[in-house]
A and B are shown apart, each in its own frame.
Chain A
Amino acid sequence: MDKILVAIGGIISSFFVYWYFFMKKEQTVEASESIDILVEGGYKPSTISIPYGKTTRINFLRKDGNSCLEDVVLADFKIRKSLPMNEKVTIEVTPDKKGDFDFTCGMGMFHGKLIVK
């Protein structure tokens, strides 16, 4: 009996894990001149739409001691910056191409996205 329950529980948990981590909907936040991103267990907000050809200031504030999040990398803009704890770090981007550009932590574990329109 307990084996059946555990088996059912296992299947349900697996679906839950799948749903919880993979089926999440990203909300896109529009940024005009500047935007604040909180770095705590990921990037909040993590999907940001920024205007093409204009300079947008992205202010990162890290409140998470996880060493993974120490650096933020905007590889398409060739920017890598270290984010000291509790210090606002500003990155200026002036996109010259449209599309989706990922930004990640130093090890590529946490992801965010810049959508250039």
Chain B
Amino acid sequence: MKKTFFIKGMHCASCVYTNEKALKAISGVKDAVVNLATNKATVESSGQILEEDISHAVKGVGYEAIFDKQSASAEATADKEKQKELTQLKVKSLTSLFLGLLIVWGSFPGIMNFAPVFLKDFYLQFILSSIVQFWAGWQFYQATIPALKNRLANMDTLVALGTTVAYVYSVLVVFFPAIFKSAGVEAMPYFDVSAIIIALILLGRYLEAKAKAGTSEAIKKLIGLQAKTARVIRAGKEFDVAIEDVKIGDVVRVRPGEKIPVDGMIIEGESSIDESMVTGESMPVDKKKGDKVIGATINKSGSFLLKAEKIGRDTMLAHIIQLVEEAQASKAPIQRLVDIISSYFVPAVIILAVGTFTGWYVFGPTPVFIHAMLNAIAVLIIACPCAMGLATPTAIMVGTGRGAEIGVLIKDAASLETAHKIKTVIFDKTGTLTKGKPAVTDVTKFSIFNFQFSKEEMLKMAASVEKNSEHPLGEAIVKKAESEKLYLIKVNKFKSITGKGVEGIVDGKKVYVGKLLKQEPDPEGEKLKNEGKTVVYVYVEDKLAGLIAIADTIKETARETISILSKMKIETYMITGDNKQTAQAIGKQLGIKKENVLAEVLPQDKEKKVRELKNDDKNIVAFAGDGINDAPALAAAHVGVAMGSGTDVAIEASSITLVNKDLRSVVRAIELSRKTMRTIRMNLFWAFFYNIILIPVAMMGKINPIFASGAMALSSISVVTNSLFLKKQKI
């Protein structure tokens, strides 16, 4: 039995997990699948499950189950509420700006001469500024009062304090002017100060909130990638089902232009697939029967059938979303210091403002009270803890999100921070620098023997014999013959000679493929061996006819990657189990220094080598491997980079996971880290510099409180905007 309903209140991948766990715990429930993108949940049970039980389970973990389809759209209300808040903020800030400007017009020396008389009226100014103070500015009190009760102070405390002082002073001036006159102070209100400060800070907050929404876009985009439905074939019938109803083992049809719904394997048909949204690789990939496809990627050309292998939160996309979410929630080590400073910041500013007031009152020029008050307000208002608080998290959010777009998944903020200091990258050879599959690179027929056949025919004979062997080198020869469209011939009397090679009768001729049968001069073979290739010889009728060289081919992008890294002043190493000669030859082709080729390293010793290089404290070491058996080395390195893998083990052990197999992504990951860190440093510099310079300037009485509020609003907006620039940078 199956039941589908909606869950309200989910915000992230971990919500999915929590709900699934709670639902599965209900007795009788066999399976539960929760989908974050659609907010739908499906439970499967042996018998009837009561809605109350479901409601209870979901409520118990802090969410709400909705069975009525209409109210399910309630989920969208959260977004609407947020939107409403934004609109309110906009209305409040613009209204108070308008009212504030009217007050300025009526009271600011110079321009007030051109103002209509009614605007100069203190009582009107009182009414206008009261609207700003208690309608638009109410939120500052709302945030300040409960915080003060907890003996905490924040940004809002500063604004509330500053504007209240200006407002209360002005009210007293308007209603009890005699007191001030008797003290020899001109009875002049400062309603413009309180109103404009509130207006500008609200406006800043509105712009900041809008910009901040852009920093978390990446997750929304990723969630939006998911397909909503799938076309399954069950019992010979083909029909559309909701994505959460797809089961492992289901056969799914994907038509041209459609999104692939789940991870699986193609069992019929072939197509070209655009995987850019997941891997960041812009070129479509050709896939055929037996190839794996990733859910959320787009089928470009052909139609095919796939067998669903991973669904729900086990899919690659779900893993990516979770990883990005976790990374965005983590804290960069650089932020720890900021946290400590910001927790002392606001009370410290209040003390400085008290000091400013006292200093100006005791030592300042007359009228002492006015100077003391305005300068103390300027100190309260100019201080901007928000810029400090926003500096690191916004850059991390945008940086990790940007990473996901280009197929670079970063485990946490700490990894992102370490990666920019990388001095050494150790590459695992097989599967990382090379394709990991041996391929024929050279076919040579010796001309000294005047055989009556061509080079192709020799290859054909060798491939025909090798077709019967299961050796990987043999496979490479057969593949080469097939790629050249050579038809293989039936072989008689096939024989495998252990440790030597294989032989058989082809077209009535005895053909042997393998090691040299007797010592004979072989300059051609030696040359190829020096290039790191494996050479097999072909004998026809017991005479040496030619040779075939086989090598693990280097990835197209490997050389370029090594050269870019060396330009970035990053040392590159290659680590391999191959013998020295082969390893050196490949290292040379790649442009890796001779002394940096680590050959004959057993898999279990890779980790030891990484640790050796880490011994130098200044050397930040990255290890790039394909992740399957490299887990210890990946974990031992400062930064483990798992290539082209979505396996849990690799993600767990590595700091950075590259979804695609393009080696240049290693460079991109380092670039991303460098750019993100640069943004963070710029943000922090700006935030600290701003406060360190401007607070003393305000204390010295050089800043008008109105200017202070403008500067403070600009400061936090500029930090968020600077983080958003990361999105636009070329990486």
Contact = CB atoms under 8 A, between A and B. Distances in A.
| A and B interact physically | yes
Interface of A: 3, 6-7, 9-11, 13-14, 17-18, 20-22, 24, 40-42, 44, 46, 57, 59, 64-68, 73-76, 78-82, 84-85, 87-90, 92, 102, 104, 106-111
Contacts of A9: 358
Interface stretch (B129-137, B144-152, B605-613, B666-674): B144-152
A20 B331 contact: no
Interface string B5-26: 0000101101000100000000
B386 A107 contact: yes
B143 A65 contact: yes
Nearest to B150: A42
A107 B387 CA distance: 9
Contacts of A87: 9
B362 interface: yes
Nearest to B339: A108
A15 B378 CA distance: 21
Interface stretch (B348-356, B445-453, B575-583): B348-356
A108 B389 contact: yes
A111 B331 CA distance: 14
Contacts of B327: 78
B152 A90 contact: no
B163 interface: no
A6 B151 contact: no
B362 A6 contact: yes
B155 A109 contact: yes
A8 B558 CA distance: 72
B147 A42 contact: yes
16 contacts: A10-B355, A18-B351, A41-B143, A42-B147, A65-B142, A66-B142, A73-B393, A80-B328, A84-B9, A89-B62, A92-B61, A104-B339, A109-B154, A109-B155, A109-B389, A110-B152
Contacts of A90: 18, 61-63
A79 B145 contact: no
Contacts of B153: 21
Contacts of A89: 9, 11, 62
Contacts of B361: 3, 6-7, 10
Contacts of A76: 331
B629 interface: no
A96 B12 CA distance: 22
Contacts, number: 139
B626 interface: no
Prevailing SS type, chain B contact patch: helix
A6 B342 CA distance: 29
A78 B151 contact: no
Nearest to A16: B354
B385 to A, nearest CB: 6
A26 B521 CA distance: 86
Contact of A75 (B147, B330, B342): B330
B14 A79 contact: yes
Contacts of B146: 40-42, 64
Nearest to B716: A107
A83 B260 CA distance: 33
Nearest to A76: B331
Contact of B338 (A6, A17, A75, A108): A108
Nearest to B392: A108
A73 B143 contact: no
Contacts of A107: 342, 386, 389-390, 393
Contacts of A44: 150
Nearest to A11: B358
Nearest to B362: A3
A21 B142 contact: no
A10 B357 contact: yes
B272 interface: no
Nearest to A46: B150
A3 B209 CA distance: 44
Contacts of A108: 335, 338-339, 342, 389, 393
B389 A13 contact: no
B417 interface: no
B248 interface: no
A14 B351 contact: yes
B341 to A, nearest CB: 10
A6 B358 contact: yes
Contacts of A40: 146
Contacts of A67: 205, 209
Given A75-B331, A102-B339, A41 B9 contact: no
